[in-house]
Structures are given as C-alpha cells and as structure tokens.
Structure 1
Amino acid sequence: MKHKVLIVDDHFVVREGLKLIIETSDQYAVVGEAKDGEEALRLAVELAPDVILMDLNMPRKGGLETIRELKEKAISIPIVILTTYNEDDLMIRGLQLGAKGYLLKDTGREHLFQTLDSAVRGDTLLQPEIMEKVFREKHERVTEDQPKHPYNTVLSEKEQVVLQAIAHGFRSKEIAFDMGISERTVKAHLTHIYNKLGVDSRSQAVAIAVERGLVHLRDN
C-alpha cells in the first residue's frame, strides 16, 4: 500500500510539479491538494494522509498557524515544510512547532523522496547546505545583538557533538559509528538534549540550537 501525501500550497504550479514527481513513485500517492491552511485542516481529517507537504505563506491561514492547529488538535501527521531561500525565520519556527523537516520548492526528485521516507519513519532529514546559511545568519545576529550566551554550558561535550551531528543531518547509527559508541547511547544523549532544551524532536532541537547559537557548520 502506498503512503498517502497531502500537498498544501497556494500555487498551482508548485502543487502540480510535486504531484508529477510523486506519481512516479511506487511508494507514494498524492491523495489531496489544498491551497490554504483552512482547506488543509479539513483534508487532514478527511483523508488521514501519512505525510503533509506544507507551504508557509498562504492566504486565509498560513502554514505556521496550520501546523500549530494540527498540533493543538492532536493530529500527529508528519509535516515537511515547503520553503524558499528567503524564509529562514519561518522555517525555524515551523521546526520549533514540530515539523519533521523542510524542502526547497525546486528540490530534486531524489531528495524529495529521501525527505518523505524520513518523515514517514518519524525521522528528520535536514539539508546541511541550507542550514549552513541559516546558522551563519542566526549566529551573526546573536553575536551582534546579545552578550555571550550561557546556553552552551547546558549541554555536555558529547551532547554538543551529537547535536552538531544532528544539524548536519546524520542519523543515530551514523553518529554512533563516528563517535565509537552504541546507537542506544546516542539515543540516550538525544533524550538528555531534548530534556535540557525543552523539546521532543530532532527538528525542534536543531531549531532551538540555531536560535541560541549552539551549533555551527564552519570552523572559521
């Protein structure tokens, strides 16, 4: 049985393009399309999709408000944000609300399906090249606008390593191999990170880390 996908975007061309790609898969099927958040909320209940591709800027009800309402209604459908290069702040807020990841609207077929696969598994797949831009801009704002932040003292050295690896998009098994520890230990570190940051998912942890300047992708 194919996984059901709901596409939410106010631009017909974007919806149609994603639909054409998804229909080439033998694992996914588009079961519905919505052009705003109001319609998305209704279809999420009616169609019970396995994953939602959610635009952020839409008329009547935007993506962030829709994600928030789905969460309040305890409708736990994995959500992948559809974004553009100039929507960094909105993307971070979406991750904080529990979105499983994000996709650029002009993303390629391979990455689209990798992200869908991760979302339906309950994992998070982030694109390091995009996160690098977000991290750099956020870090510059924190450096310019605030005194040195004490938050980086909250996490242990190993927890910071794990958080940094998550930001690069690595999975628990890969992190365990690189650190020379068991996957169970990595998951224990993740639990501690979640508790300390007050989050319950990888995407939320990364979003908080971006805002607090806890992670960076460049040494310089």
Structure 2
Amino acid sequence: MSVRVVLVDDQTLVRTGFRLVLDATDDIEVVGEAADGSHALDVVARTRPDVVLMDVRMPGLDGIEATRRIRCGPSPAKVIILTTFDLDEYVLAGLRAGASGFLLKDALAADLVTAIRVVVAGEAVAAPSVTRRLFAHYLGRSPAPRPADERLATLTGREREVLTLITHGLSNAEIAVSLSLAESTVKTHLGRILTKLSLRDRVQAVILGYECGLAASQVSG
C-alpha cells in the first residue's frame, strides 16, 4: 500500500519539484496540494493522507497553526516541516505543534523519500545530530539538570535512561547497544515513555528532555 502524501507550500515550483520526485517512487503517492494553511486543512480532511509536507511561512493561516489543527484532528496525519534553513526559528514551533520533524527544502530527492518513510515508521525525520543542534539553539545550549522534575516522576529508572539517550539523539539501535537491550525492548520503553508523559512522538520526547535538563545528563555506555 502506498504512503499518501499532501504537499503544502505557497510556491508552485516547490510543490512541483516535490511531486516530480515522489511520483517517481513506487510506494509514495501524492494525493493533494495546497498553497496555504486553510486550504491544507480542507485537502487533508478530504484526502486523509499519511504524511503532510508543510511549509511554515505562508499567507493567511501559517503552517504552524495548520500543523496544530491537523495533529489535533480526528485522523491526524504525520507532518514534516519544510524549511529553508536548518536553524529556522519557526521549526521548533512547528515541532511543538506536533510535527514529526523537519526537512530542508533543498534536500536531495533520496532524502525526501527517506524522510517520508522514516516518519511513517514512527521515527523523527531529521538526523539526530541536526535535531539536537536545533533544540540546543532554541532551548538553551547548556540546560541545567533538574533531577526532581515532576514530569519525569512517573518514569522508571530504565525509562529515564532511555529518555536521556533519546534526548542525546541516539537511535533505537544505538540505545539498545548502549544499554545492552534488544531493540524491541527499547521500542517498548519508548512507547511507555510517550504514554506516561502524554507525548505524541519521539520528537516531542526530545523537546521535553531538553526542557527537563536531560541533555546535560551523562550518556550511558
């Protein structure tokens, strides 16, 4: 079954370029396009895509609010924020609104396809090092640790270790090696973390980890 994608950008040329790349991919289907946030909501409601590629700087309803509404909708699609710069001030707001990651507009065709597949699989779009750099830039480069943060009180010791490693940008496979666990066990811990902390996905977990000072905690392994 193909991954259904909606393209949202006020530049026709950008949408056309993305469509040409995706139309050449067997397992991805572009089911709609929109030039602004309001139109995007209509297209998403009508087509029910799996993934939305969302620009943030658009006239009328911007991509951040459109992302928030899509993610709070009855059938929330995954959203990938499109940005021109990898430290765009709007990216973090988009991630907070529920986007699963971000992608540079000048990304290679292979990176675009991979990003969509990765999001559908439940991972974050951007490479961990890039995502960490973005969060560090906007949330503070040296967040002070807060061991007693009440938001983490419901986690077990192992779950806190996993969250710390996620905050440091490690993938599930890397966490498994660091903690001598099966990768399936790491996925189970991640699922419990998201449930206990009422988080949408891995990106939201990284944001919370930075806010709680886990980026300053020592990485195991």
| Structure 1: distance between partners of 2:108 and 2:216 | 26
Go from structure 1 to structure 2 and tell me whether the alpha carbon gap of 1:216 and 1:111 turns closer, same or farther (over 3 Å shift): farther
Go from structure 1 to structure 2 and tell me whether the alpha carbon gap of 1:67 and 1:120 turns closer, same or farther (over 3 Å shift): same
TM-score using structure 2 length: 0.80
Paired residue for 1:5? 5
Alignment of 1:10-29 (within 5 A): 10-29=10-29
Write out per-residue CA displacement over residues 50-104 of structure 1, whole angstroms, 9 at most, x where no aligned residue.
Answer: 2110111111111111112123332321111112326544322322332222111
Alignment of 1:189-208 (within 5 A): 189-194=189-194, 197-208=197-208
Specify the code of the residue in structure 2 equivalent to 1:166: I
Paired residue for 2:73? 73
Paired residue for 1:92? 92
Go from structure 1 to structure 2 and tell me whether the alpha carbon gap of 1:167 and 1:12 turns closer, same or farther (over 3 Å shift): farther
Go from structure 1 to structure 2 and tell me whether the alpha carbon gap of 1:150 and 1:196 turns closer, same or farther (over 3 Å shift): farther
Identity of aligned residues (%): 35
Q: CA RMSD in A?
A: 3.0
| Structure 2: distance between partners of 1:113 and 1:60 | 29
Paired residue for 2:47? 47
TM-score using structure 1 length: 0.80
Alignment of 1:56 onto 2:52: no
Specify the code of the residue in structure 2 equivalent to 1:54: M
Return 5+ residue gaps in structure 2 as ranges.
none
CA shift, 1:110, in A, is 2.0
Q: Secondary structure at the match of 2:5?
A: strand
Go from structure 1 to structure 2 and tell me whether the alpha carbon gap of 1:86 and 1:186 turns closer, same or farther (over 3 Å shift): closer
| Structure 1: distance between partners of 2:23 and 2:216 | 37
Go from structure 1 to structure 2 and tell me whether the alpha carbon gap of 1:34 and 1:139 turns closer, same or farther (over 3 Å shift): closer
34-43 or 44-53: bigger deviation: 44-53
Specify the code of the residue in structure 2 equivalent to 1:150: R
Specify the code of the residue in structure 2 equivalent to 1:122: G
Write out per-residue CA displacement over residues 15-60 of structure 1, whole angstroms, 9 at most, x where no aligned residue.
Answer: 1221121122111122211110111000001112221101111111
| Structure 2: distance between partners of 1:168 and 1:114 | 22
CA shift, 1:195, in A, is 5.2
Go from structure 1 to structure 2 and tell me whether the alpha carbon gap of 1:212 and 1:16 turns closer, same or farther (over 3 Å shift): farther
How many equivalent residue pairs? 215
Alignment of 1:125 onto 2:125: yes
| Structure 2: distance between partners of 1:118 and 1:7 | 17
CA shift, 1:172, in A, is 2.8
Contact conserved, 1:80 with 1:100, CA < 8 A, in 2?
yes
CA shift, 1:108, in A, is 1.2
Go from structure 1 to structure 2 and tell me whether the alpha carbon gap of 1:73 and 1:20 turns closer, same or farther (over 3 Å shift): same
